[in-house]
Structure 1
Amino acid sequence: MAVKELEKERAPQPAGFGVLGWARWFWRTLTSMKTALILLFLFALASVPGSLVPQRGVEPDKVARLFQQNPTLAQWYDRFQLFDVFTSVWFAAIYLLLFTSLIGCVVPRAATYLRELRRRPPAAPRNLSRLPHHAALTADLTVEEAARRLRARRFRVDTGDGWVAAEKGYLRETGNLLFHVSLLGLLVAVGIGSLFGYRGNVLVVEGDGFANTVANYDRFIPGREVSAESLEPFSFDLKDFKASYQVQGDKKGQELDYSAYLRVNDTPTAPARDYELKVNEPLEIDGTQTYLIGHGYAPVFKVTDGQGQVAFEGPVPCLVEHKPTLTSGCVVKAPDARPSQLGFLLRFLPTSVPLTDGTYASAFPGELQPEVQVLAAFTGDFGVRSGRPQSVYELAPTDLMKKLKPLVMGTSVPKPLAVGGSLDLPDGAGRLEFTGVKEWITLQIAYDPGRMPALIFAGLATVSIALSLMIRRRRVWVRIGDGGAVEVGGLTRTEGSAAGFAEEFDDIVKVLTAGDKDDR
């Protein structure tokens, strides 16, 4: 017993998998068709948050509003990079894994396909009656004639001693391979766009302009190979903005259409031209596209400080708080006011109407009765010169700020300011005047050199997947014996297409047994 145990201990143990073994296993798993399909599904699934969650590169105003309305949720979104889905680390990881997997799939399959193209159809089996499709008949047919008639039906043909082999349907594998190559091409096109393209967002108020330089963007996302000199030197002025809304019915207030009227200079020396910018109709200049993605109101204010000097004057873009009525929140900062800085929290009502409880609301998104509610006024140090970045859409609280009190008289809310109205602050701190209304637009400006290649590869993928689904791979053999005995056998190499091949096989038999006149 002890001897057996000793021999068992001395017996050679199986070697471990090892680093090289694990590397081979990982590569085979990554480059398998199953993994490629899983990664393709994950790639599509990972794009879903980019449609559901507002993206900083497309809708920065909605991102800012979400931080105001639900800061906890917005912080979690930001931690998981859901505001920048397509530039996130996890999206890039899926992209690179899919890219590697497709290369590992396509290269071996391409080599196999090339070998298949050079290979002749296999010789006829000895017993054709065992094939799924079989016919035995008597006909005056030679090997050369059978080969000619099968070639006329676009079969690849090989002949031997008393037999003919024919094969058809190589375009199925061609379509399958092209589909994977197209997916790879799409990923390459996206990569080219990420390296050599750029996109950015800018907010422009009526009467102002924009020049395509990095400094003028509110948010600029360049590719790794993009420099400031890469940008097309165009510019434009926003002359006017027009929006139309549904005025009756259940959908009253719904946007019907809106347009921005621009005065465009394609280059610094080019003559100016007029252009009407509409949704889904971008301005394109040498491959750089400018999209109209949003709009809102920018009421014009004038702030006079306690020393009688104008501390601020101009339009203030307001964030939309209620889309159906375009009720908007505004922040006015006057850091140059003396003896103390002034700040205001306001609400803009495009069509102001009084409610039964004494408050006011907007009844329509159009500018019919524009008024401004003064929600709060502050004086003190707002920290705008502290060096810390601040949003223009919020008034960050500090210990040196003081809220001014007599904005609410008794228990009633003061009437909103109409255009031309003003509000005097207590203790001679200053005055706020509402002098007019302008509108703003948000634009996305993008240059993507991979856009056209991506379109081509997407079209190629559609055509190639149709080829792989519609075409059947099939083989036919003919044996010609003595005395005019002819055997025909056939099979399909495509799963689930045997029923469709039965009719084609009958036609092939008819062609082989028909005379020259019928064949023609």
Structure 2
Amino acid sequence: MVSVQDPPVTSPRPRRANPVLALLRNSWRQLTSMRTALILLFLLAVAAIPGSVLPQRGVNIDDVDRYFVEHPDLAPVLDRLGMFEVFASVWFSAIYLLLFTSLVGCVVPRLAEHWRAIRSAPPKAPSRLDRLPQHATIAQAIGGAEEIGAALRKRRWRVAVRGDTVSAEKGYLKETGNLLFHFALLAVIVGVGYGSSYGWHGNRLLVAGTETAFCNTLQQFDEYGLGPRVDAADLPRFCLELTDFNAEFLPTGQPSSFRATVRVDNGAPRGFSVNSPLRLDGANVYLLGHGYAPMIRYTDRYGQAQTAIAPFLTVDGMLTSEGVAAFPDANIDPKAGSARDPNAQVAFEGLYLPTAPDQPPYTRSVYPEERSPALMLWAYRGNLGLDAGIPGSVYRLDQRQVDNGRLKRVGEATLLRVGERMTLDDGSSVEFLGTREYATLSIRYDPGEKIALGGAAIGLLGLMLSLTGKRRRVFFRVTTGGSSLVEAGGLPRTDYSGFAEEFKQTVEAVERANEEGSVKR
């Protein structure tokens, strides 16, 4: 007889996991862990430090320009790293987008788990209540488990009665507070992102006077930034005229208050200050600073007079200011028609002192208020380089034109008081007429600020609930034998130093409630 053997049984090969899916799954788990969320939150706080230390273009472009002058080697490097536009940089956006994703991955599962925990009944009482951190017995005739449950409900415990045992718990507001706080962080991030996408901002140096009024168009901003979802046509239409500026200083020269008064669309004057912005329909106007704009009248060699109102940028706390007054259309020969000689242009580099010292050197103002104003001027003649089409600053001369000899200094520096005149070598003259004050304004619209503010308020509420909430449970078991006996046990789920006293008060409250029930019966 031939025996036939069964073929050997082979176990199926284990299915090999897709390495790409495994990598994505592990990466998602790492990203959505609470540890990663805390690290990203810390990185976000660290990344925001340069935005608080270094000047930002979205806040004050003048401070950024001054930083480039004071640190010519370091500033270009920082600019390439986005340090002057920190909150709009790619690396900062990447951090808060990763934080947003991490928080969503952390909070949503915790929310579902918290919802299930709230809807579920408290757990069953353990068999040995005497092993719990808190334990007590009531050896007297009292009511049953239902009466104990009713007494606990009056003290706002979540109660579950199962036969002769009672389970109760409190403190879910702690986890509710945690979730509120994390959702508030999400709201803040959403508010910042929404404001960045649909918001806009612009800076303007506004000189007092009707002829220097400003209208809210991109062409009239000194510096601006539009969100990706904003077009120039979306800007609200309004015009501002600076009618007055009041600055008060302490005896030390420190400013005590700034207040600007503007006329909006030829309406009634409206005032605003540093901490109280001007609220308009679709925009807010913030006061950043102020300075002086000297008025200079130049009369060229042909007797033609021109007046320039040139804002000077402050260089110190005493409002010592530097600037340039340019006259590119000067020295046009009337006999030659309107042809302009580019090599006969004139500009004056100036140093303005609101309160000049009594004796030289006249290099710094001694007080920021205009008590003894003086203007130091250096005259230049030649080609200002304005026709080359190369962008430049209106607050300083093109140094390249000076270096290549196309723009030359004429004479020596001269100090002028208000009303004084200086005559140049070609018979032309320049006169210091006085000054006008200017205000540096930041005009911006941020639709996400209310969302961020609401998130901050909710976050504060959630933090308070998280810090004050304490998870704890109590259990009661009614036993009957020779005499009725109630055994109680308590368990704090979190560190709670006052739980022993609360447990004692809870047992006493249950005892009193059942005594009252016994009397009624």
Deviation per CA, 1:322-359: give whole Å up to 9, x if none. Answer: 22x21111112222223411222210111112436x55
Of 288, 301, 305, the residue aligned with 2:300 is 305
Instruction: Tell me by how many angstroms 1:518 deviates.
Output: 5.8
How big is each residue's C-alpha offset from its partner over 1:457-476, in whole Å with a ceiling of 9 and x where there is no partner? 11111011110111111111
- Using the TM superposition, give the Cα deviation of residue 517 of structure 1 relative to its aligned residue in structure 2, in angstroms: 6.4
Equivalent in the alignment of 1:403 = 408
Q: Report the alpha carbon displacement of residue 360 of structure 1 after superposing the two structures with TM.
A: 5.4
Q: Compared with structure 1, are the counterparts of its residues 405 and 314 closer, same or farther at alpha carbon in structure 2 (3 Å cutoff)? A: closer
Q: Mark the runs of 5 or more structure 2 residues left unpaired by the alignment.
A: 1-12, 332-340
Match of 1:327 in 2: 320
Check conservation: 2:180, 2:462, Cα contact below 8 A: yes
* Higher mean C-alpha displacement, 393-402 vs 344-353: 393-402
Match of 2:373 among 370, 373, 378: 370
Runs of 4+ off more than 6 Å: 12-17
Aligned residue number for residue 80 of structure 2: 79
**How many correspondences in the alignment?**
487
Q: What is the CA–CA distance in structure 2 between the aligned matches of 1:297 and 1:392, rounded to whole Å?
A: 15
Any residues of structure 2 matched to 1:247-258 within 5 Å, and which?
A: 247=251, 252-258=252-258
Q: Residue 419 of structure 1 corresponds to which residue in structure 2?
A: 418
Give the equivalent residue in structure 2 for 1:188.
190
Structure 2 Cα separation of the partners of residues 427 and 453 of structure 1: 64
Q: d(CA) in 2 for partners of 1:50 and 1:136? A: 62
Q: What's 1:503 paired with?
A: 501
- Quote the Cα distance in structure 1 between the aligned partners of 2:293 and 2:24: 60
Aligned equivalent of 1:317: 311
Residues 287 and 448 of structure 1 are in contact (CA less than 8 Å); yes or no, is this contact kept in structure 2?
no
- The one-letter amino acid paired with 2:153 is R
Residue 474 and residue 32 in structure 1: after superposition, are their counterparts in 2 closer, same or farther (change >3 A)?
same
Paired residue secondary structure (2:315): strand
Distance 1:423 1:455, change over 3 A: same
Matched with 1:136 is 137
**What amino acid does structure 1 have at the position aligned with 2:370?**
E
Give the deviation of 1:431 after TM superposition. 2.7
User: Judging changes above 3 Å, is the alpha-carbon distance between structure 1 residues 120 and 405 closer, same or farther for their aligned structure 2 residues?
Assistant: same
| Aligned twin of 1:337 | 330
TM-score normalised to the size of structure 2?
0.89
**Structure 1 residues 359, 220: closer, same or farther in 2, change over 3 A?**
closer
Q: Which amino acid aligns with 1:201?
A: N
Secondary structure of the equivalent of 1:331? strand
Distance 1:515 1:184, change over 3 A: closer
How far apart, CA to CA, are the structure 1 residues paired with 2:351 and 2:469? 64
Q: Is the 8 A contact 2:148 2:514 kept in 1?
A: no
Counterpart among 265, 275, 278 of residue 280 in structure 1: 275
* 1:163-213 deviation line (CA, Å, top 9, x unaligned): 111111111111111111111011111111111111111110010322222
Listed as ranges, the matches of 1:54-133 within 5 Å are 54-133=55-134
Q: 1:298 to 1:35 in 2, by over 3 A?
A: same
Give 1:217-256 correspondences, 5 Å limit: 217-247=221-251, 252-256=252-256
- Paired residue secondary structure (2:75): helix
Q: CA–CA distance in 2 between the matches of 1:455 and 1:306?
A: 61
Rounded Cα–Cα distance in structure 1 between residues aligned with 2:232 and 2:14: 64
Partner in structure 2 of residue 215 of structure 1: 219
Work out whether residues 57 and 199 of structure 1, in 8 Å CA contact, stay in contact via their aligned partners in 2: yes
Q: Percent identity?
A: 44
1:55 and 1:470 map into 2 onto residues whose CA distance is: 39
Distance in structure 1 (CA, Å) of the matches to 2:394 and 2:243: 24
Per-residue CA deviations over 1:210-256 (Å, capped at 9, x if unaligned) read 22222221111111111223222222211121212223xxxx22212
Q: Which amino acid aligns with 1:69?
A: E
**What is the distance in 1 between the residues matched to 2:500 and 2:447?**
49
Residue in structure 2 matching 1:204, options 200, 203, 206: 206
The CA deviation at 1:13 is 13
1:174 aligns with 2:176: yes
Q: Is the 8 A contact 2:143 2:514 kept in 1?
A: no
Q: Distance in 2 between matches of 1:143 and 1:404?
A: 101
Per-residue deviation, 1:515 = 4.3
Gaps of 5+ in 1: 1-11, 266-270, 409-413
Flag the 1:518–1:366 CA change in 2: closer, same or farther, 3 A: farther
Amino acid at match of 1:319: L
Using the TM superposition, give the Cα deviation of residue 384 of structure 1 relative to its aligned residue in structure 2, in angstroms. 1.0
Q: Distance in 2 between matches of 1:426 and 1:404?
A: 11
Deviation at residue 105 of structure 1 after TM alignment:
0.9
What residue is the counterpart of 2:49 in the other structure? 48
